[in-house]
Amino acid sequence: MGFRTALFNARFWGASFERAVLTVIQALGAQVAVFSATDIEKLGLNGLPWSTITSVSVFAGLSSLLTSLGKAGATKGRGPGLVEQLTQKKAKTVTPSVGVTEPTAGSDGKTVK
C-alpha cells in the first residue's frame, strides 16, 4: 500500500488524526505549563495569551497530520509513522471448558449442583 492507497484508507486517517489530536493536547499542555510557571503570578490564568497558545497548538497538530501524510509512501501504508503498524483487533474466541455439565434438577424440583 503506497501513498495513493493511504489517501483512501480509513484506518490510516484514523491513526493520523489520533496522532494529530494528541500532538495538539501535548503542545497546549506544554505551553500552559511554561506560561504559568513564568507569568501566572502576574497575569493569572485569564491573562495568559490564549490566542497564541491555541494557534501554536493547532499548527503543531496540522504539522503532525502533514508529517503522517508525507510518510504514507515511505511506510507502504502500514501506519502514519515509520515504526508503527496498523493492527486490526481480532475477535476473541471463547471455547467451552471440557467436563462442564449443566445443573440438574433433583426430585424436589430444586437445582442440584
Could you report the per-residue pLDDT of 42-77, keeping only the tens digit for each?
Answer: 767 777 888 999 999 999 999 999 888 877 766 565
Read off the pTM. 0.61
**Of the listed ranges 3-12, 64-73, 94-103, the one predicted with least confidence:** 94-103
Between 35 and 30, the more confident residue is 30
- The interaxial angle of helices 10-43 and 50-70, nearest 10 deg, is 160
Question: Where do the domains of the chain lie?
Answer: 3-87
* Residue-by-residue DSSP string for 14-59: HHHHHHHHHHHHHHHHHHHHHHHHHHHHHH-GGGS-HHHHHHHHHH
φ, ψ at 109 (rounded to 5°):
90, -5
Between 68 and 5, the more confident residue is 68
Which H/E stretch holds residue 104? strand 104-105
